[in-house]
Structure 1
Amino acid sequence: MLLLVAGGSVAGCSSKTDDSAAAASVTPTNVTLTADQRKHVRLATVERSQYQRTIDATGSVDFNNEQATAVLAPFSGPVARLLVDIGDHVNKGDPLAQVDSPDFAAAITAYRKALTTAHTARRLADLEKDLVDHQGVAKREEDQAQADAANADADADAALKALLALNVDPKVIKAVEQGQAIAPIGGVIRSPIAGTVVDRQISPGQLLQAGTTPCFTVADMSRVWVMAQVADTDVASVGVGDTADVSTGVGGKHLTGTVTKISALVNSDTRLVPARVVVDNPQGLLKKQAYVAVQIHSRQPTNGLLVPVSALLRDEENLPFVYVAQPDGSYARRSVTLGHRTGDQFDIPAGLKAGEQVVVDGGIFVQFMQNQ
């Protein structure tokens, strides 16, 4: 009986010893360095600080709708020839397309007839006035002639405005006013503003309807919209007026913009909120529909424990940790939770306390010594 009890006691002690050894094998021990080794380790004290968050987002480039114009067909007829392509830069008044339009010829003819009628009516009115002065006709007839001349002038003015609405070449209008013969010409769709052709919706042979058929979209790409997609968890930190850095993807260049509008709706599928960033684009580095990286610098102050990025290491499961200096001079490995990044620092919401010192230079060496 005594032998059995003794055997059981030995077995129990052996089991406890094995469990303790196993626990010790999986529990990281503090790292102790020599005085010479500690000279290559630099520490920093963790302090609670105030900072402004930087929110990372992706975005797409769009033209500025406030500086873009949809060009509608000013007259009816089939498209004879396209003169520009998407991406071409145009000035105000530049031709975009030629159209075989009867409206064009009809407008020129109407203006020519209106001018002839107005000239004739004005000449008759002047004649009636002269006759009245010499008592050749009654005053009533002279008044009627003046009214007819005024109406004819109004008709000519309306016909001229019709030509201007069709963007008729001023040289053609001047030739009509001088009574010169004009060779048959087609209608020309012209750009109403200077900018870039960002959309083309017609093709040769297509029949256009005056005032209804959209033909082109011309936009001023010197200032564009970047639609940044902000996570719904970050949108509370973004405000109108915040500055943003937009990556152009060209030689590492960045452009600076300003947040001008934040959507009130969250995309139910992506949980993202669009935020509009207006960016000056004088060199045309940002192209329509290009995907870009956006960093929005929030102006709202935030408090947190900030730790340099160089202090953070990763374990085998890619989880972050730091080495914390202990009172006895050793270094303890401490798992931490990463918050928001600001510059070259991370906010640590959990895992550290203010006043503790962490290794910011030499952490890889400390990790190497711990793994020995």
Structure 2
Amino acid sequence: MLVALLVCALCAGCSSSNEGNAQAASTTPVNVALTATQRQHIKLYTVAAEQFDRTIDTTGVVDFDNDQSTSVLAPISGPVSRLVVSPGDKVKKGDPLAYVDSPDFATAVSTYRKALVTAHTARRLADLDKDLLQHQGVAQKEADQAETDATSAEADAYAAKQTLVSLNVDPQTIKDIEQGRPIARMQGVIRSPIAGTVVEKLISPGQLLQAGTTACFTVADLSRVWVMAQIADSDLSSVHVGDSVDVQSGMDAKPIMGKVDNVAQLVDPDTRMVAARVVVNNALGLLRKQMYVSVRIHSLHAETGMLVPVSSLLRDDENLPFVYVSQADGSFARRSVTQGYRVGDKFQIPSGLRAGDQVVVDGGIFVQFMQNQ
């Protein structure tokens, strides 16, 4: 009885082992054999090491070129009396943007007038003492003091004039003051420091401005903008200053050419990405600040690797890439590969293929169908 039980147990073990082996064999992919007629519809590609220029596809955000844009601060204090520009207006350097009823302006004009009178009077007295000195009409000490007073007064007048210049006073107004002409109304002027487009208006009529503190306008030259492209760690080694870039604002938009100008040395703590600054010619005004764009960077540094056409790559049930490789006996073996980045109409394959392998590039779906039968 005991012997019979042992025999039954051994038989059961053998049976379960055989079933397990059969199940493992059934899940192992087998090579696909095709007839000569079927093979005529299959196209192969011979894998070889190729040199290529990598492209990095990412996204970016448009920003002003900070080298060609500026925030215009109020140079004088006082209430805004009149605005003369609106957002979107193009201005030249020195054009008025707004007028201000400013006591600072009136004080600066008055100070310059007084300084001019004092300087003229002191110079006239110094010249008179110099003439008297030649005829022994005054002592040398008095003539020297008169010259010192004249020089000091002229320095004060120059400083007062520079105050008007720093307040962006119109040159004609300064000339009128110097020639003693009356000024109809003493108004301060906020002028554009650069040529460009008014992109922001931050003040309104009647608003009280504080000199050197209140931001009034933003003026930017929009003929050139920055695109801040986001670069992942894995792509960072392929991005360099000078790389050419295609920037696209929409699916149907024509790409705009740019160039990598700077690669940041810091990682964004929120996105874990590195910003690459791209300078883009925006002469047509198609790019606007804060616009999201697609960015394709063409690396200038060539790389070498195994490339296969996009059509050769298939996906399994777990969405993992594989290819069919032609075997010496004419069959096709399914081989898992690692998919790298895209280069034109090909993908880089870091691992899974060797030089000389022939992969199916046309008819792979049919081979997969035959394997699943």
Length, aligned pairs only: 371
User: Structure 1 369/71 Cα, relative in aligned 2: closer, same or farther at 3 Å?
Assistant: same
Structure 1 equivalent of residue 170 of structure 2:
169
Q: State the Cα deviation string for residues 189-236 of structure 1 (Å, max 9, x = none).
A: 111111233444434433222223333333333333222221123223
How much has 1:18 moved relative to structure 2? 8.0
1:156 aligns with 2:180: no
Q: 1:86 to 1:369 in 2, by over 3 A?
A: farther
- Equivalents in 2 of 1:37, 1:87: separation in Å? 66
* Structure 1 residue 124, shift from structure 2 partner: 3.0
Change in Cα spacing, 1:358 to 1:281, as seen in structure 2 (3 Å) is same
**Compared with structure 1, are the counterparts of its residues 269 and 70 closer, same or farther at alpha carbon in structure 2 (3 Å cutoff)?**
closer
Map of 2:225 onto structure 1: 224
Name the CA shift for 1:186/1:338 in 2 (closer, same or farther; >3 Å): same
Residues 370 and 88 of structure 1: CA distance in aligned 2, closer, same or farther (over 3 Å): farther
Aligned match of 2:363: 362
Match runs of 1:311-322 below 5 Å: 311-322=312-323
Describe how 1:29-44 pairs up with structure 2 within 5 A.
Answer: 29-44=30-45
1:193 maps to 194
Distance change >3 Å, CA 146–CA 11, structure 1 → 2: closer
TM-score for the superposition, normalised by structure 2: 0.84
Deviates more, 1:158-167 or 1:275-284: 275-284
Match of 2:123 in 1: 122
Q: Output aligned runs, 1:231-310, within 5 Å.
A: 231-249=232-250, 251-310=252-311
TM-superposed deviation, 1:74? 0.9
In the TM superposition, residue 14 of structure 1 has moved relative to its aligned partner by 9.8
Farther-moved stretch of structure 1 (113-122 vs 91-100):
113-122
8 A contact 1:250–1:285 mirrored in 2: no
Q: Which moved more, 1:95-104 or 1:318-327?
A: 318-327
CA distance 1:323–1:88, change in 2 (3 Å):
farther
User: Partners of 1:131 and 1:292 in 2: how far apart?
Assistant: 79
Which residue does the alignment assign to 2:4?
none
User: 2:354 is matched with which residue?
Assistant: 353
Displacement, 1:62? Answer: 1.9
How many Å separate the matches in 2 of 1:154 and 1:11?
115
| 1:40 CA drift (Å) | 3.4
Q: 3-state SS of the aligned residue for 2:230?
A: strand
Q: Distance in 1 between matches of 2:305 and 2:29?
A: 28
The aligned residue for residue 84 of structure 1 is 85
Match of 1:4 in 2: none
Amino acid at match of 1:291: Y
Structure 1 segments unaligned to the other structure (5+ residues): 2-6
1:212 equivalent in structure 2:
213
Deviations 1:281-323 (A, max 9, x none): 3333322222222223334443422111121233454433322
Query: Which residue of 2 is the match for residue 324 of structure 1?
Result: 325
SS in structure 2 of the partner of residue 234 of structure 1: helix
Provide the C-alpha distance between the structure 2 equivalents of 1:85 and 1:317, rounded to a whole number of angstroms.
58
The aligned amino acid for 1:173 is: I
Deviation at 1:358, TM superposition (A): 0.9
Q: Residue 234 of structure 2 aligns to a residue in which SS?
A: coil
Question: How far did 1:8 drift?
Answer: 12
Give me the CA root mean square deviation: 3.5
Give ranges in structure 2 of 5+ residues lacking alignment.
Answer: 2-7
| Paired residue secondary structure (1:104) | helix
Q: How does the TM-score come out when normalised to structure 1?
A: 0.84
Q: Deviations over 1:237-282 (max 9, x none)?
A: 3333433332243853223333333333333442212222333333
2:173 alignment partner, SS class? helix
Q: Are 2:249 and 2:292, in contact at CA under 8 Å, matched by a contact in 1? A: no
- Identical columns (%): 66
Which residue of structure 1 aligns with residue 5 of structure 2? none
Q: Please give the alpha-carbon distance, in whole angstroms, between the structure 2 residues aligned to 1:250 and 1:332.
A: 39
SS of the equivalent of 2:107 reads: helix
2:236 counterpart letter in structure 1:
V
Distance change in 2, residues 1:250/1:320 (3 Å): closer
Distance in 2 between residues matched to 1:369 and 1:20, nearest whole Å? 23
Using a 3 Å threshold, how does the CA distance of structure 1 residues 226 and 191 change in structure 2: closer, same or farther?
same
Closer, same or farther: CA 9–157 of 1 in aligned 2, 3 Å:
closer
Q: What are the within-5 Å matches in structure 2 for residues 60-79 of structure 1?
A: 60-79=61-80
Matched position secondary structure for 1:163: helix
How far did 1:365 drift? 4.3
Which AA in structure 2 matches 1:98?
Y
Cα distance between partner residues in 2 of 1:129 and 1:287: 67
Match of 1:107 in 2: 108
